[in-house]
A = this chain, B = another copy of it.
Amino acid sequence: MPKLRKQELPVLAVDLGGTKVITALISNDGGMLASETCPTLADEGPESVIKRIFAAIDHLLSLRNMSPSQLYGISIASAGAIDVGKGIVTLSPNLPGWHDVPLKSIVQEKYKIDTFLINDAKAAALGEYHFGAGRGAKNLVFITVSTGIGGGIIIDGKLYSGASGGAGEVGHMTIETEGPRCSCGNIGCWETLASGTAVAKEAIRRIRGGEKSSLIEMVKGKIENITAKEVSLAAQNGDILASEVINKAMNYLGVGMVNLVNIFNPEIIVIGGGLSKMGDLLFEPVRRMVAERAFKLMAAAVRIVPAQLGDDAGVFGASVFAFGQS
């Protein structure tokens, strides 16, 4: 086999999420050569999760009979607040115990190759921009609506990172000044009102308050097991409480979306994450509110569309991020 130039080697991309870890081998032109998924088991804490990441990387390499030296690099998209300059996961609400974990250097020392670390929503923004719903756009805002609300901003075809790599934390804009306290320390953040967690909390609160809903039977009386998935399913089946809870959250989602339209005047807003799978239940109210409330010129200019890459957006984006650093 002829020796490949570095740019021809694949990236081993890792998407470290609160529930699962995806590993993938991705070539410079976006070809996915292999991919595996394993559970994060985040509750076991960082040491255990990092061992599991090592095992996943080793397994993927062994499947392809490759050594680390045959990689362009390893690129990790991680949930949480990332200090890109230092390669540190500073804090991650969905990864218990992760405080200032120098993940980049830990992986780099283990495999002795270039390693990259980026926030998972920013990676997904890059993935959707290069290979998904955002292809061909100049400016794009990507939103992921799941446990929380994450975001990534593409301006002039490049990820906008800001002064210290943190830009795009749109889930932590206050849309309700007297709203709920957020785990980030701020108040009335968008994600406290419009995320999957917000949907589940509100349904549980109302049912515990004595209201009736088919959700109770759906979770066999274990109210605490209700997630946004059950609420959206119940709403689609005509459950009134579930519909009201979803409508309220989608109203809040629309409020934040209007903010993003008025601030960024984007060509396209791509919405991914678990809640985007609700389809019209999410997109209809959000598009309507943008049409009603945003500046007319900007409302007319924006397309609000579902993400296309699903769970793979993070690994695709992580590979783009790595190749872009060369």
Q: Which of A's residues lie within 8 Å of B, judged by CB?
A: 81, 83, 90, 138-139, 155-156, 160-170, 172-179, 184-187, 193, 251-252, 255-256, 258-259, 262-267, 292-298, 300-302
Cα distance A36–B208 when bound, in Å?
A: 68
From B81, B139, B193, B293, give the contact of A295 (CB < 8 A).
B81
CB-based contact A297/B172 at 8 Å: no
Q: Considering only CB atoms, which chain B residue lies closest to A140 in the complex?
A: B163
Contact A167 to B295, CB < 8 A, known contacts A173-B173, A174-B175, A175-B174: no
Q: Considering only CB atoms, which chain B residue lies closest to A189 in the complex?
A: B262
Cα distance A256–B255 when bound, in Å?
A: 14
Task: Please name 7 further chain A to chain B contacts, defined as beta carbons within 8 Å, in addition to the given A174-B175, A185-B293, sorted by A numbering.
Answer: A81-B297, A163-B302, A164-B300, A166-B262, A166-B265, A172-B262, A174-B259
Cα distance A176–B81 when bound, in Å?
A: 26
Q: A179 contacts which chain B residues (CB < 8 A)?
A: 177
Contact A168 to B90, CB < 8 A, known contacts A177-B176, A292-B185, A295-B184: no
Q: How many copies of this protein are present in the complex?
A: 2
Contact A294 to B164, CB < 8 A, known contacts A255-B177, A258-B174: no
CB-based contact A164/B259 at 8 Å: no
- In the complex, which of the residues A156, A258, A262 has the most CB atoms of chain B within 10 Å of its own CB atom? A262
Closest Cβ–Cβ distance, residue A165 to chain B (whole Å): 7
Contact A164 to B301, CB < 8 A, known contacts A81-B295, A184-B295, A295-B172: yes
Q: A293 contacts which chain B residues (CB < 8 A)?
A: 185-187
Q: What 8 pairs across the A-B complex have the smallest Cβ distances?
A: A162-B265, A167-B265, A173-B259, A163-B301, A164-B301, A169-B262, A163-B267, A166-B265
Q: Considering only CB atoms, which chain B residue lies closest to A81 in the complex?
A: B295
CB-based contact B298/A174 at 8 Å: no
Cα distance A65–B292 when bound, in Å?
A: 51
Closest Cβ–Cβ distance, residue A164 to chain B (whole Å): 4
CB-based contact A169/B263 at 8 Å: yes
Q: Considering only CB atoms, which chain B residue lies closest to A252 in the complex?
A: B177
CB-based contact B266/A186 at 8 Å: no
